[in-house]
Amino acid sequence: MSNPLRHLAIIMDGNGRWAKERGLRRIKGHEAGIETVRKVTEYCADHPEIETLTLYAFSTENWKRPKMEVDYLMHLLEKHIRLERERYMQHGIRFETIGNLSPFSQKLRKTLEETKALTASNRRLVQILALNYGGRDEIVRSVQRTLEAGEEINEANITRHLDTPYGDVDLMIRTSGEQRLSNFLLWQLSYAELAFTPTYWPDFSVEELENLIEQYKQRQRKFGGI
């Protein structure tokens, strides 16, 4: 029996290197990566099994990048989310975020929250953008929420107080050839299958995604058993 695939997570890596190899500014790589986000999201919305797609868009460590690049990323994100609203509605995609949004501008936070409200009733796919997100930070904040609620510190309660209540990840893909988790969904990836590809994110295709999913389907998932 093939493995079910309900939650797909992707570390979208390689935008900057894609641009550098073409003699372009790094921001051009981020712009090119937007189209890949669109294609992959639409594919997942049409997939018979996938319910949740979580994309690592901006980590807590990404603030270390040059200020000009960070500022442009914020501008690109706000513009992208506004432009995608019609597409979200057409394809039945519910938009969500995880991570600490408080450092973002009021304009960006408003755009994110308005888009969540607009798409809240969509049911074909939940697209989650991890923004100013770090797995360790999420776990710490979940423990704090558990304590504030006067609840026992156990696995069930910590899971319930995480940023995302959408369940464990089944398959995690990272593009660009890097083979590490980079503080992404550390709790939710505990028993996920991992796939790494040398393809830079702007060049990542639906066909390659299909191939990686097919490989995942053939794996034997043991969840700690024999």
Instruction: Give me the active site residues, please.
Output: 13, 62
- In DSSP notation, 69-107 reads HHHHHHHHHHHHHHHHHHHHHHHTEEEEEES--TTS-HH
Cα separation, 221 vs 166, whole angstroms:
20
Residue 83 has phi, psi (to 5 degrees) of -70, -25
Beta bridge partners of residue 173, listed in sequence order = 10, 195
Pairing of strands 125-133, 171-174: unpaired
Please name the residues in contact with 1: beta carbons below 8 A apart, sequence gap of 6 or more.
Answer: none
Read off the tokens for 11: 């570390």
Distances (CA, A) of 130 to 23, 58, 77, 155: 29, 6, 12, 22
The candidate with the shortest Cα–Cα distance to 216, out of 204, 208, 226, is 208
Give first-to-last CA distance, the chain, whole Å: 17
Give the burial class of 125: count Cβ atoms within 10 A of its Cβ; 0-12 exposed, 13-18 middle, 19 or more buried: buried
